Amino acid sequence: MSTRGLLRRATTVWRRSIQARVVISTLVLSAVVVSLVGWFLLRQITEGLVDSKTSASVAEATRGAAEAQDRLSGTSGTDPDAAAQLSQLATTIVSRGDVQGFDVVLAGPVAGTTDGLVAGSGTRKSPGVVAASVPEPLREAVEQRAGTSWTYTAIRYERDTGQPTVPGIVTGSQITLPADGGTYALYYLFPMSDQQETLSLVRQALFTAGALLLALIGGLTWLVTRQVVTPVRLARLVAERLASGRLEERMHVRGDDDIARLGTSFNQMAASLQKQIRQLEELSRVQRRFVSDVSHELRTPLTTVRMAGDVLHDARERFDPATARSAELLQKELDRFELLLTDLLEISRFDAGAAALDLEDVDLAGVAHRVAENTRALAERRGTRIVVRAPQRPCVAEVDVRRVERIVRNLVVNAIDYADGHDVVVWVDANEDSTALAVRDYGCGLQPGQSAMVFDRFWRADPARARATGGTGLGLSISLEDARLHGGWLQAWGEPGGGAQFRLTLPRRAGDRISRSPLPLVPPDTRAAAVGAVGARYGRVDETTAGAQ
């Protein structure tokens, strides 16, 4: 797996898993704390070991220099063998250093002194040690003043000894050889190998302890979060099953702790929701059954009343004016009643899942022209024009022409009803995978949030509004069901005072999925703009006008 894939997977785990976030965050914070504590402890131990070694080394060097000076002072100042005295002193100190674990460098005479010629000049040292291990600043400090001086250094050894370079402490003191009056520099080199090994052991112990502590903290955090997260995950799974319709799913509750009480409350909530959903389902089933039964039961008496009404309506010229007017009103109300009954029957078919499509290739532009022509009389009565704008190319889709004409008719009639005398424009267009028809009016428009409510059954934007068409309030609901039956979209847009637009989008082939619509849902024009501004995108258009001039 590539680095990008690993990073994406880690990001997904971090975003979706509470347990992973808690464990990783705890480990990171614990690692920072353990590192700081380990660094502090290691620094304290290092300083303690170095300070202890330094104090012991300086004390040992001071005592050794004093003993060497006492030994030299105890010899006769007239002894002519000064070189032998110096060699004997160096041998004694080197032997003691071999036993006590330090090296010695005896150099001199010190620059600037005129004595010391009897003993001779040169450097006497422990076997194998390199005299250059004594830093030059320390040599200068020892030559310039009496007393003991010290510093840190790296003690080097000759190659043939096979000993590695080790850190150490070097001290320097002046001693005087009475035989010739010369002043010499005595250096003690104390290696810190033991301290280095101790620090390595301490460092390893701290690292091991820190790793084990982090593993322990990570394990404990994982166990604790698992006890909390596992019920949450189970609750999520149960919630998903409830959302999918498996209302009998419940959480398994164990114990009496907070998580158990949460599970109990969740189960109680699920039971309450199940009960209410069952009640709503039963109520909905009863309502659908009632609508279906009433619709079918009213069909027979309505047919009888219709026959009688037709007889009265045909003979109205022989009646007196009041009776003739009553016959006309009876005929009109019977038309409305029959329309309502037809809509109720259609709704009951959708609710029962009995609606089916009779598919054929249809040009939506032709459908728009036929609907515009059929609603000409209604548009004339309302002082409205219906303008159809479609491209010259066919806008063909595989649809049920009866249902699509019903959708377009409902949209156009609804637009006429709310157009307030303005034009109603019907746009038609198509792309490679869908065909669309949009009905635009410039009336009162829709309030925010009403674009989804317009498709509810029996809903009206303004119940107090006088309506000339006498609709049932089911037209848009039936249109939405027809659009869904085709696998298409029926959407609405509107703004207060700016009119509204309803867009129907259908797949060109039945069963195909729609990715986009060839027409915008929000029209690019405004109430004050001419509708021809939108038509410019088509170039040459086929325009049909119906209604009042």
Tokens of 29: 């914070």
What percent of the chain is predicted at pLDDT more than 90?
A: 24
Q: Are residue 505 and residue 449 in the same domain, yes or no?
A: yes
- In a domain? residue 282: yes
Q: Are residue 384 and residue 346 in the same domain, yes or no?
A: no
Q: So what's the pLDDT on residue 472?
A: 61
Q: pLDDT band for position 39 (50/70/90)?
A: very high
Q: Are residue 348 and residue 260 in the same domain, yes or no?
A: yes
- Which of 156, 178, 193 finishes a domain? 193
375: domain CATH number?
3.30.565.10
Q: Are residue 395 and residue 543 in the same domain, yes or no?
A: yes
- Which of 313, 331, 355 finishes a domain? 355
Q: Are residue 335 and residue 284 in the same domain, yes or no?
A: yes
What is the C-alpha to C-alpha distance for residues 121 and 491, in angstroms, rounded to an integer?
A: 110
Q: What is the mean pLDDT of residues 532-549?
A: 41
Tokens of 18: 């509470």
Tokens of 532: 């021809």
Q: Are residue 170 and residue 300 in the same domain, yes or no?
A: no
What percent of the chain is predicted at pLDDT more than 70?
A: 86
Reported as a single tens digit per residue, the pLDDT across 20-38 is 888 889 999 999 999 999 9
88: domain CATH number?
3.30.450
Q: So what's the pLDDT on residue 340?
A: 73
- In a domain? residue 394: yes
306: domain CATH number?
1.10.287.130
Q: So what's the pLDDT on residue 246?
A: 82
Q: pLDDT band for position 530 (50/70/90)?
A: very low
Number of domains the chain contains = 3
Distance of CA 151 to the CA centre of its chain: 58
Q: Are residue 277 and residue 385 in the same domain, yes or no?
A: no
What integer best gives the mean pLDDT of the chain? Answer: 82
Contacts of 168 (CB under 8 A, 6+ apart): 133, 152, 153, 154, 155, 189, 190, 191, 192
Q: So what's the pLDDT on residue 81?
A: 65
- Is the predicted pLDDT of residue 437 greater than 90, yes or no? yes
- In a domain? residue 59: no
- Is the predicted pLDDT of residue 152 greater than 80, yes or no? yes
Q: pLDDT band for position 543 (50/70/90)?
A: very low
- Is the predicted pLDDT of residue 462 greater than 90, yes or no? no
Reported as a single tens digit per residue, the pLDDT across 258-296 is 778 888 888 888 888 888 888 887 877 776 677 667 766
10 Å CB burial of residue 486 (0-12, 13-18, 19+) is buried
Q: Are residue 382 and residue 339 in the same domain, yes or no?
A: no
Q: Are residue 501 and residue 448 in the same domain, yes or no?
A: yes
- In a domain? residue 7: no
Most confident of 324-338, 377-391, 443-457: 377-391
- In a domain? residue 26: no
Reported as a single tens digit per residue, the pLDDT across 201-219 is 999 999 999 999 999 999 9
Q: What is the mean pLDDT of residues 476-482?
A: 86
- Which of 168, 193, 218 finishes a domain? 193
Q: What is the mean pLDDT of residues 179-198?
A: 86
- In a domain? residue 178: yes
- In a domain? residue 186: yes
Q: So what's the pLDDT on residue 456?
A: 79
What is the C-alpha to C-alpha distance for residues 93 and 126, in angstroms, rounded to an integer?
A: 9
Q: Are residue 345 and residue 384 in the same domain, yes or no?
A: no
Helix (H) or strand (E) holding 390: strand 385-391
- Is the predicted pLDDT of residue 176 greater than 90, yes or no? no
Reported as a single tens digit per residue, the pLDDT across 378-388 is 888 888 999 99
**pTM score:** 0.51
What is the C-alpha to C-alpha distance for residues 187 and 90, in angstroms, rounded to an integer?
A: 11
Q: Are residue 165 and residue 259 in the same domain, yes or no?
A: no
Residues 534, 429 contacting (CB under 8 angstroms): no
What is the C-alpha to C-alpha distance for residues 414 and 393, in angstroms, rounded to an integer?
A: 28
Q: Are residue 342 and residue 417 in the same domain, yes or no?
A: no
Q: Between these two residues, 105 and 533, which has the higher pLDDT value?
A: 105
What is the C-alpha to C-alpha distance for residues 224 and 221, in angstroms, rounded to an integer?
A: 5
- In a domain? residue 351: yes
Each as own residue / partner, the long-range contacts of residues 454-460 (CB below 8 Å, 24 or more positions apart, any chain) are 454/492, 455/479, 455/480, 455/490, 455/492, 457/347
What is the C-alpha to C-alpha distance for residues 549 and 543, in angstroms, rounded to an integer?
A: 15
Domain span at residue 283 reads 250-355
